[in-house]
Amino acid sequence: VSGESRRADAASYRLAMRRIAASVAVITTAHEGRIHGMTATAMTSVSLDPPTLLVVVNRAARTHPIIARSRRFAVNVLALGQESIARRFAEGVERQFEGVPHEMHAAEVPIIAGTAATFVCIATEAIDVATHTIFIGEVEEARHADLAPLLYHDGRYLSLS
């Protein structure tokens, strides 16, 4: 498919994208003892059988090479009240997990506590598109809690109500 013929300008694309309301997750990963996480809204379900999802990660993100090497990641869908965690994992801070309650999953990825849902994944495919990589994750374990989700819309964190 050629993308050459017509192309929206970046500003109008960004403005239109801001109209999309999304759940906020932290994608966590680890490699050789180093744990890491990144705030993300680009995630979606792909299939139920086998349970498969995708996340989209900028190749410039520190998270990228860690998933690429370990092939392990978890999607931690944040609950309302976890906005400070969303901000923390979007800011490029050092010692990211300091003060963030978490545990190590048996699959050797960190899991953030108190989230609305958690998906522990093995990356089965990595597809490079433009500046980003789509990581396809086969879900080894899915957990959920009856908590309201944290949403992101028009550059702001919001609740459903």
Ligand X SMILES: Cc1cc2nc3c(=O)[nH]c(=O)nc-3n(C[C@H](O)[C@H](O)[C@H](O)COP(=O)(O)O)c2cc1C
For the bound state, the minimum distance from the C-beta of residue 103 to ligand X, rounded and expressed in Å, comes to: 20
Nearer to ligand X, 80 or 90 (CB): 90
Which token pair is 153? 């819309």
Contacts to ligand X by CB under 6 A: 24, 38-42, 56-58, 61-63, 90, 92, 152
For the bound state, the minimum distance from the C-beta of residue 143 to ligand X, rounded and expressed in Å, comes to: 21
Q: At residue 148, what is the residue type? A: A
For the bound state, the minimum distance from the C-beta of residue 60 to ligand X, rounded and expressed in Å, comes to: 7
Nearer to ligand X, 42 or 147 (CB): 42
> Which residue is at the shortest CB distance from ligand X?
42
For the bound state, the minimum distance from the C-beta of residue 84 to ligand X, rounded and expressed in Å, comes to: 12
Whether the Cβ atoms of residue 23 and residue 91 lie closer than 8 Å to each other: no
The backbone torsions φ and ψ at residue 62, rounded to the nearest 5 degrees and listed phi first, read: -60, -30
Whether the Cβ atoms of residue 137 and residue 93 lie closer than 8 Å to each other: no
Nearer to ligand X, 62 or 143 (CB): 62
Which of 140, 79, 63 is CA-nearest to residue 112?
A: 79
Quickly list DSSP for 14-54: HHHHTT--EE-EEEEEEETTEEEEEEE--EEEEETTTTEEE
Nearer to ligand X, 42 or 46 (CB): 42
For the bound state, the minimum distance from the C-beta of residue 49 to ligand X, rounded and expressed in Å, comes to: 25
Nearer to ligand X, 30 or 49 (CB): 30
Whether a cis peptide bond, with omega within 30° of 0, leads into 50 is yes
Q: At residue 7, what is the residue type? A: R
